[in-house]
Structure 1
């Protein structure tokens, strides 16, 4: 009887374990199921729907073959033609490049000697329908209507996997086009080699946004190559190798035995040998690779869990979490090597080098978010920037394939480094980092000579003078904070004083930051705060005075005092959201989108502004406008983003704001409190701790904070520190339909 009881107990134990395991598996599946990779592929979102893993080296995705602004990622949801599937893509940028190493399956022999000037002339293009297209994290599928081929794509960190299913008894062929390019990109020198009956390799050197991009690749097929045609510069070449500005190949496979052709492809910035080293040794088990990609994404998406009865909010949130982990991208090879812009080959020792650093965008919220959801990646990012500094003796601005593009204003690698240091992230040399920051801000490039000479940048000496001055002032404040932390008091005072440069440009009569001439007295006239001129003969970058006059996150109290009082400041801030949305000028920046009044959520300079009411004694207006932005600027459709995704920043704003937090000053180590949209959000911290944000009674009408507690103790502040969050705990809000104008006024 005793043995029988033990047996029953054992069965119950095993059954309960099995139930628990199944329940856990079900829970894991939820995260990827809520992601819609097509969100942001329409409108001006500029995202791609293809397959990758978190921060992966490869982004294998469809290319429509169109050179136009809304096709910066290679793909736009409005299209119905596909040119092929290439292996490198940009997520949500405003400039187009990459789309390197294009593969396209076909069921017929095509003429690759025809010179093409548009995608309409491509002999291998195909139509497709969204009805026969699917995407999920780590997986993409589309049915090519013309050759009747089903294409599936998945990826590991450094290897892309293709699966082509042909119609029965159809000819089986794959085209590789190394001359394919869109937007700014242009192939300079390419080469293809058939190494054996299963393997091809080659390289593609190009210029574009990245002026010196070198991509080496290797591809292995599941079937032997039965026939091949190679071209160089539209001429067929004999043998097994071709080289030229534009090389292509069509490879044929025996249709007998299987309708499927599988391919795995690896790249390297260094060499074909390194590409081979990066290539997964696993055989062509596509489903296994796909399952691993799904598991990897589930783990990444699980860093923050949210609870809400509204499914659309889960879709927006988890898709935002997905987008925030597409970039930056792995750049160093499996052996640590990577190529610099000057063609020097270096080795990342004890870190992974990353590229696609869209710092003007991502320093605001994307990089602070990574300190919570991917802290293990942050020191690698800092070391990647310091490796760039080793070559240039200046920190990077916007790096693409290790090239400095010098796109946008400021040196915002600086706040990223300071944010990491202040949050206690280890793994980089803080003294070296400080030297790099100080050296960068003391050199003379990109208007710093004028900034040092005048204390601001005169509008008559450099375009975009207001934006550049405000951003250098912020970067100076960041250097000052690092200097203070390292005990460099003289440097602290120097950079802190220089960070007041914004004071020179504030016009108390109008309440705007304005262009001032080198005489230090006269303003740029005539003045129209709604006027925009894109990137030339303007005082503002991709915007106007309404959008750019609020960038003083480092000293909001002093900024408010320039306006005269909290009341005046808050009134002007309110007017930003209620003013007419007219933008004047004949060359208006296309980046001004997502307008609420003159507030432009579709571009990054506006992202911190709604949180400034907190500092002006009106936190309920922060709550109102943040909830309004959450409700109106994001949705679950391909048009679900109101502007360029910009390598995660547009989505990072949503991730933070939907939880009720935002890093208004991204290097302060603090988060402003807004209006949480979820009943419960749990941040799963690295050491097993959790920080839970609860919003009791929250709804589409109950978005005002009535009261709050932190770990059961009344909490009456409009900001919370990173250190408070990483210690774990519960921040509990009680929400209501009317503002509590007494909450949050404790300094």
Structure 2
């Protein structure tokens, strides 16, 4: 028996989420070293405050059974709802547009007399439980629902009251974005078939195969509209187990995946799922007297490892984005959101999970060989989003010694990608120039000097646009979508030249002027933590003579209420005044999607006292850690991050040592710390204005 989370909620008349009082119940046998016990899946699931979900899944699991509510959020589940329309088996945590997934939605029912089969069931929040790898709710119709999963098979256990008319509906057309086609067969009580749905933001489509079995003999299975109706009678408190297996290969493969779990009980799978999370999170240990901080840390680490998904069958077979089937020797990952995650999440994996990350890099190579576009194709094997900025991702991995193949293996594909980079708007220019800079570095590494110079020259052409749009800022610089920007303002995109910070400093008039304009940016609350274009900017003080300002700012963003003026598409008339990261269902500020773990990873890096200032380099910016001690166990020699404190408000770095040697820079090399050792911070309540100055 494990610690679980029981949350209560209060609603305004407009059903907006106001807050929650969370009670932790610790059984006698609770073991504090169980990292998975700190996971609270309800965090960031209310309305538009992160768009995460309560799916019962395993790390990087393909199948993610969870409730779909009415009203529905991007991941299907909204904590503020009290009505469930069913329990679907696919979703993508923390993404925008209207999310993606929601397939094969199952709704249990009991009816009496001539009542019709319902389309939804109400429930109460006090009857809801979620923990790592497990979800449960007792519905108001008396049916208890429990969910857990292996990597490819969802286990639904429904405990029915006595009824002669019980059963499930299984919606073959359920989808958060749109349904395209389906087919199904029924053989020996197993329902199997194929589903094709529209992908996120209506970009492309995905097709997968399924097989569903029940441990209860059915009286009949019929189809009405989009739904299969499965009917049976039940005794009081009778458990009925539904298993839903997925495969990207073919229908027979889905049936085989189902057969592979035939001997597993629900409780066995639940135990295994919890232990898989505990093992996975145990790569890092954080020490603090603040249990809420631990809860936030491990829950956000849980959020980051929801995707990408491992989609190959146990025999190694997959179907690629080009529709071809083949066998792989390593776990094959799909379900990418590189445009967001290249900034924080993928660099985090390079530190915490280098072995799994190598497998992801193999999968990205395969994606290039299939003809990788920026967005999803019409023949995707499973849910996925977008893959821009893969060039700096591969450069980053090479620079860290993690890339398991030569850059030469995909160089021609990257060159082809570079031909199609967009330059239509100011944000396009800055982002595409970053890719070109990364490609110039790759060409240089491969000894292709002419290409290296060509791509470098193209990258640095950004300066013409930068001087025109970003040098002199005025009232028009604070308009969301101004000048055709995707999501943000000119002020927010202005700083996104990570490969040439010195260059924009020079154009501004020098390092001191750069610092003054950073001060103006933050003092006038122009920063948008709720979206990605400027999330690196708090760390840019590390490239000035005042890195202590980064330390103060990060402390404020992590621990205090702040004024937040920006959503995804507009500047609010009044700011959202809130602590940005909280251990509650409204865990982020409104409209701040987790973006597949990007913002969770920002929190993780920042609370550890580090930040990957720009992927493609090995530079890591330092700030004050939030923990007494952090131990990362990815090598034979662990990385230990320790702190000693003086004063009541220990937010400023006084001194840093690496293996007892003084570190005078506010930037440290990833390749130094990733090999293991002791990074020690001496903290105090007043800034040391001499430490870390960039002379």
Give the TM-score of the pair, scaled to structure 2: 0.87
Q: Check conservation: 1:270, 1:345, Cα contact below 8 A.
A: no
Aligned: 1:276 with 2:267: no
Change beyond 3 A, Cα 1:365–1:153: same
Offset from partner CA, 1:178-228 (integer Å, 9 cap, x none): 12233xx2222222332113x221222223435332121101212222233
Distance 2:378 2:182 in 1: 20
Unaligned runs of 5+ in 1: 1-22, 115-121, 235-245, 448-456, 514-525, 580-596
Q: Which residue of 2 aligns with 1:138?
A: 133
Change beyond 3 A, Cα 1:558–1:261: same
Distance 1:142 1:327 in 2: 25
Offset from partner CA, 1:275-330 (integer Å, 9 cap, x none): 12223334241111111111110111112211111111111111111111011112
Q: Which residue of 2 aligns with 1:420?
A: 397
Distance 2:307 2:437 in 1: 27
Match of 1:313 among 285, 288, 293: 293
Aligned: 1:188 with 2:198: no
Q: Which residue of 2 aligns with 1:47?
A: 52
Give the TM-score of the pair, scaled to structure 1: 0.81
Change beyond 3 A, Cα 1:407–1:278: closer
Distance 1:488 1:64 in 2: 55
Distance 1:405 1:549 in 2: 32
Change beyond 3 A, Cα 1:334–1:509: closer
Deviation larger for 150-159 or 483-492: 483-492
Aligned: 1:679 with 2:623: no
Change beyond 3 A, Cα 1:698–1:284: farther
Distance 1:331 1:110 in 2: 44
Q: Which residue of 2 aligns with 1:517?
A: none
Q: Which residue of 2 aligns with 1:19?
A: none
Q: Check conservation: 1:35, 1:315, Cα contact below 8 A.
A: yes
- Residue 386 of structure 1 aligns to a residue whose secondary structure is helix
Offset from partner CA, 1:373-409 (integer Å, 9 cap, x none): 22122233223223232232x454567983899977x
Alignment of 1:101-180 (within 5 A): 101-108=104-111, 123-145=118-140, 147-169=141-163, 171-180=165-174
Distance 1:303 1:572 in 2: 40
Q: Which residue of 2 aligns with 1:92?
A: 94
Distance 2:500 2:630 in 1: 30
Distance 2:668 2:329 in 1: 33
Cα RMSD of the aligned pairs, angstroms, is 2.6
Q: Check conservation: 1:698, 1:736, Cα contact below 8 A.
A: yes
Distance 2:74 2:288 in 1: 34
Distance 2:495 2:645 in 1: 33
- Residue 528 of structure 1 aligns to a residue whose secondary structure is helix
Distance 1:744 1:660 in 2: 14
Q: Which residue of 2 aligns with 1:376?
A: 355
**Could you tell me how far 1:102 is from its partner in structure 2?**
1.0
Change beyond 3 A, Cα 1:271–1:66: farther
Q: Which residue of 1 aligns with 2:486?
A: 541
What is the aligned length?
642
Q: Which residue of 1 aligns with 2:20?
A: none
Distance 2:114 2:518 in 1: 61
Aligned: 1:324 with 2:304: yes
Aligned: 1:211 with 2:159: no
Q: Which residue of 1 aligns with 2:75?
A: 73
Q: Check conservation: 2:546, 2:689, Cα contact below 8 A.
A: yes
Q: Which residue of 1 aligns with 2:281?
A: 301
**Could you tell me how far 1:433 is from its partner in structure 2?**
2.3
Distance 2:29 2:351 in 1: 23
Alignment of 1:659-678 (within 5 A): 659-678=608-627
Distance 2:548 2:631 in 1: 24
- Residue 499 of structure 2 aligns to a residue whose secondary structure is coil
Q: Which residue of 1 aligns with 2:433?
A: 473
Q: Which residue of 2 aligns with 1:37?
A: 41
Aligned: 1:363 with 2:342: yes
Change beyond 3 A, Cα 1:398–1:359: farther
Distance 1:169 1:562 in 2: 76
Unaligned runs of 5+ in 2: 1-27, 560-578
Aligned: 1:402 with 2:380: yes
**Could you tell me how far 1:429 is from its partner in structure 2?**
4.3
**Could you tell me how far 1:140 is from its partner in structure 2?**
0.7
Q: Check conservation: 2:58, 2:277, Cα contact below 8 A.
A: yes
Change beyond 3 A, Cα 1:160–1:433: same
Say which one has the larger Rg.
Answer: 1
Change beyond 3 A, Cα 1:610–1:485: same
- Residue 131 of structure 1 aligns to a residue whose secondary structure is strand
Distance 1:24 1:733 in 2: 35
Alignment of 1:725-736 (within 5 A): 725-736=673-684
Distance 2:71 2:139 in 1: 18
Alignment of 1:399-548 (within 5 A): 402=380, 411-441=388-418, 443=419, 445=420, 447=422, 457=423, 462=424, 465-507=425-467, 511=471, 528-533=476-481, 538-548=483-493
**Could you tell me how far 1:746 is from its partner in structure 2?**
5.8
Change beyond 3 A, Cα 1:275–1:510: closer
- Residue 606 of structure 1 aligns to a residue whose secondary structure is coil
Q: Which residue of 2 aligns with 1:202?
A: 193
Deviation larger for 621-630 or 257-266: 257-266
Deviation larger for 563-572 or 697-706: 697-706
